[in-house]
Structure 1
Amino acid sequence: MAKILRGATAQETHSAILDLIRSSGTVTRVDLADRSGLTGASISRVVKRLLADGLIIETGYGDPTGGKRATLLQFNPRARHAIGIAVDTPSTTYVVTDMSGRVIEQVSSRGIGKDAPATAVRRITAELEDLIVKAEIEPSTLVGVGVALAGRQGRGGTRLLRTDSEKYAWEPFAVRDTLKDAIDHPIVVENDSTCAAIGEFWAGKIPSVNDFATVYMAAGFGLGLVTNGDVYRGSSSNVGEIGHMVLDVNGPLCWCGGQGCLESLAAPAAVVARAGQDEQLADKLGLRGRRLSTRSDFAKIARLAAAGDPRCVELIEESATYLAKALLSITNLLDLNQIILAGPGFSEAGDIYVRVAAQELNRLSFVRAMHPTRVELSKLGPSAAALGAASLVLHTQLTPHQNTRS
């Protein structure tokens, strides 16, 4: 017997049926009743409302089964739109998507650098208004704006945001409330790694039965966790700080105050620092004197590693090995069947990270005899956090029956 997809409210029931239609491709009313456990009359009422709202469309007829041919229903991704913004030190990325996660418009601008938070938010607001005009979408179809940020999250959308090299932080600043005052749409503010994870689930078409994690690398490492289609956030919405898992008790000091954290051993800054200790490689990469940024220096190393430069391969493999050790602990703790690597840090040499991590998990995972743990690169590319932020808006506004776990 099908599990009854009846929410606590009519809106939740409607969202559950909409999500079922979305994940089914095309489906009939009879199919919906069978799969949802609701009565035919209930399904008819829900479908009538979804059709009126333009969220689904009728798209022909199914094969005859001896009686009247059943009308096929299909999710209408063009009915609503969402905007995702990934705010980072070197760049800010904006995407406009439809309800399927398909990108309609994407632009990038300079990052926040050392801007004061109020200054950065004013600029983001202005660029967002320009984007809506450029994308040529009706404001009435915009269900909300998602903002992906690094750093700790406090109450009320407050963020502590650290840049990649200067250890510069925003003081506790109500990002969500400040944006809400300037933008007449719902605002969702979330950690970049959590955004990347929900982006994989929504836009990447991952089945809701899968438990998976997304590891996001930019300046450091974060982990977003999705279980049965729900985001897991923890008690203060700060779950997944794997960058501060201790891997070496005698290792280097980390900016967080710990010693031997994954971030201090394997993040881009750590890789660049080790490269700088090799005089010949440092000269080759231009690591002496004034440089653009840690992120650009790391990209040089990663590109050479992907091209087969022996010393750069060694550096990236060392970073990947530390990450693999952290992923092994996470997998043994959570019994994951899939890990996705996302974010700009994996753009150039992601295949090396996948190879090293997969080898470690296949060799030592406690559950390896029962099931493999797949390690894959994100199909969403470097814009995973922005796409995920848009997807999180869709997830929050259109599927409220999926209660985000804490």
Structure 2
Amino acid sequence: MSRVIGPSSENTRSAVLDLIRSGGVVSRVDLVEASGLTAASITRIVKTLIAEGMVVESGFGDSTGGKRPTLLELNSASRFAVGLSLDDARLTYVVTDLAGNLVGRLVSKGIGGTLPSVVVGRIRDELEVLLRQLDIDRGDVIGVGVAGAGRLDATGGILRSSLSATDWEDFDVQEALEAASGFGVILEKDSACAALGEFWVGRIPASKDFATLYMATGIGLGIVIEGKVYGGSSSNAGEIGHMILDVNGPDCWCGSRGCLEMLAAPLSVVRHALTDPQLVETLGLSGDPSELRLDFALIGRAAAQGDEACVALIEESATYLAKALVSMANLMDLDHLYLAGPGFADAGAIYYRIVRDHLDRLTFMRSVHSVHVELSEVGLESAALGAAAVALQTRLTPHQASASKVRRAV
């Protein structure tokens, strides 16, 4: 499907590079048809991209009666991006090439209750170790993307009001990491990163809109529209965890009652499990807040193996998630959803089954089109891979990044 870019646009080069990314292997003729640009404009832009080492000629396509077309693809090994997921349970680092392919990873202990300044020093050291192990020159790294929970402040560099990261409330993550590491850093919400990771790694075309529900300790929704993460007025769109599902429900730390997060997130599942002494003993649940994710994983694994009490707990959580996603599908007329994050690592099949059933039966537009749901294939590194994709998108295809992200990255 043709996308008219316009030769006078300052983002033309960026858009053509993105067409090559999403197409995998394309010809100049393909780019003319997909972009709406003239053959001369495509030739000029491609020549520049090849000179910069971003794109390579990789062979010839089939002839349609004339000269065989030369095929183009990203020179994926020419540059690298780093993604970091800041999480209570663990820090996950990934390095990707230009195509978003995973080159290497490193996992270390989470932020827990550690002071931000201490964590930043550790990140600096661990990042250097990872790059040395992969034999990647610092000059070939285009930037570092960071995924975190909570909400961004007006500058986009500080995470605020996260239930689990109280010491980070007024800490400028972006500025501190840039000073410590020497790399350009861009900060984004973990749910938005997970969605962008699906877009970049999965080579989803910019013409396809979708949303990714990300569950770790909390719950968020990343929304991608025409290849861009929708951020709203302050880059904080997608707080589905604070969608109110029960007006008389439990108090939420955000100040409301009956929020999805209080009804379906790991904390809710574990709290319900802790009221069953036999289940606590059988699974060895600790009840320690610092072990929340471990307790949730134990419940999820038991549910996946058919333990009736655990299946009931996960199904209740999944039902609340499904109700919220039906509302989002109705609101946005979505036709594709992904479930991503460590919250789906052990009992993802149960969540998938219930969410799919609700979307099939209850969406308002079901007679017009279905809503397809998938468990993310990106895995536990989805937020970190998405953070690397944020760095790639901001630096390489800024026409797809929000203006605020581009300004923050400069």
Asked whether the two chains share a fold, i.e. TM above 0.5, the reply is yes
- 2:258 pairs with 1:260: yes
Correspondences of 1:204-215 after superposition (within 5 Å): 204-215=202-213
Give the partner amino acid of 2:318.
Answer: A
Q: Is the 8 A contact 2:22 2:204 kept in 1?
A: no
Q: Which residue in the other structure is 2:121 paired with?
A: 122
Distance 2:173 2:289 in 1: 31
Q: Which residue in the other structure is 1:58 paired with?
A: 57
Q: Is the 8 A contact 2:153 2:234 kept in 1?
A: yes
Distance 1:290 1:209 in 2: 45
Q: Which residue in the other structure is 2:356 paired with?
A: 358
Q: Which residue in the other structure is 2:35 paired with?
A: 36
TM-score, structure 1 length as denominator?
A: 0.94
Correspondences of 1:175-194 after superposition (within 5 Å): 175-194=173-192
Q: Which residue in the other structure is 1:88 paired with?
A: 87
- 2:297 pairs with 1:295: no
Q: Using a 3 Å threshold, how does the CA distance of structure 1 residues 42 and 291 change in structure 2: closer, same or farther?
A: closer
Q: Is the 8 A contact 2:340 2:382 kept in 1?
A: yes
Q: Using a 3 Å threshold, how does the CA distance of structure 1 residues 218 and 42 change in structure 2: closer, same or farther?
A: same
Percent identity of paired positions between Structure 1 and Structure 2: 53
Correspondences of 1:3-402 after superposition (within 5 Å): 3-6=3-6, 9-10=9-10, 12-156=11-155, 157-160=157-160, 162=162, 164=164, 168-287=166-285, 293-402=291-400
Give the partner amino acid of 2:61.
Answer: G
Distance 1:310 1:8 in 2: 62
| Deviation by residue 1:285-337 (Cα, 9 ceiling, x = unmatched) | 22367686011001000000001111110000000001111111111101111
Q: Using a 3 Å threshold, how does the CA distance of structure 1 residues 289 and 230 change in structure 2: closer, same or farther?
A: closer
Aligned residues: CA RMSD: 1.9
TM-aligned CA deviation for residue 256 of structure 1:
1.4
Distance 1:39 1:289 in 2: 64
Distance 1:28 1:340 in 2: 31
Q: Which residue in the other structure is 2:408 paired with?
A: none
TM-aligned CA deviation for residue 6 of structure 1:
3.2
| Deviation by residue 1:258-287 (Cα, 9 ceiling, x = unmatched) | 111111111111111111111211221223
- Bigger drift between 14-23 and 284-293 goes to 284-293
Distance 2:289 2:2 in 1: 60
Q: Is the 8 A contact 2:173 2:187 kept in 1?
A: yes
Distance 1:138 1:375 in 2: 39
Q: Using a 3 Å threshold, how does the CA distance of structure 1 residues 52 and 242 change in structure 2: closer, same or farther?
A: same
TM-aligned CA deviation for residue 231 of structure 1:
0.7
| Deviation by residue 1:81-104 (Cα, 9 ceiling, x = unmatched) | 100000111110000000111111
- Bigger drift between 200-209 and 334-343 goes to 200-209
Q: Is the 8 A contact 1:197 1:226 kept in 2?
A: yes
Give the partner amino acid of 1:264.
Answer: M
TM-aligned CA deviation for residue 205 of structure 1:
2.1
TM-aligned CA deviation for residue 374 of structure 1:
1.2
What SS does the corresponding residue of 1:185 show, helix, strand or coil? coil
Distance 1:192 1:117 in 2: 18
| Structure 2: gaps of 5 or more residues | 405-410
Distance 1:220 1:68 in 2: 56
What SS does the corresponding residue of 1:258 show, helix, strand or coil? coil
Q: Using a 3 Å threshold, how does the CA distance of structure 1 residues 161 and 116 change in structure 2: closer, same or farther?
A: farther
Distance 2:286 2:139 in 1: 52
| Deviation by residue 1:113-171 (Cα, 9 ceiling, x = unmatched) | 1112222112112211221111211222211100001011113211126354xx73423
Give the partner amino acid of 1:236.
Answer: S
Q: Is the 8 A contact 1:150 1:161 kept in 2?
A: no
Q: Using a 3 Å threshold, how does the CA distance of structure 1 residues 320 and 8 change in structure 2: closer, same or farther?
A: farther
Distance 2:334 2:34 in 1: 27
Distance 1:65 1:152 in 2: 53
Distance 1:268 1:318 in 2: 12
Q: Is the 8 A contact 1:149 1:161 kept in 2?
A: no
What SS does the corresponding residue of 2:234 show, helix, strand or coil? coil
| Structure 1: gaps of 5 or more residues | none
TM-score, structure 2 length as denominator?
A: 0.94
Q: Using a 3 Å threshold, how does the CA distance of structure 1 residues 371 and 405 change in structure 2: closer, same or farther?
A: farther
Q: Using a 3 Å threshold, how does the CA distance of structure 1 residues 2 and 373 change in structure 2: closer, same or farther?
A: closer
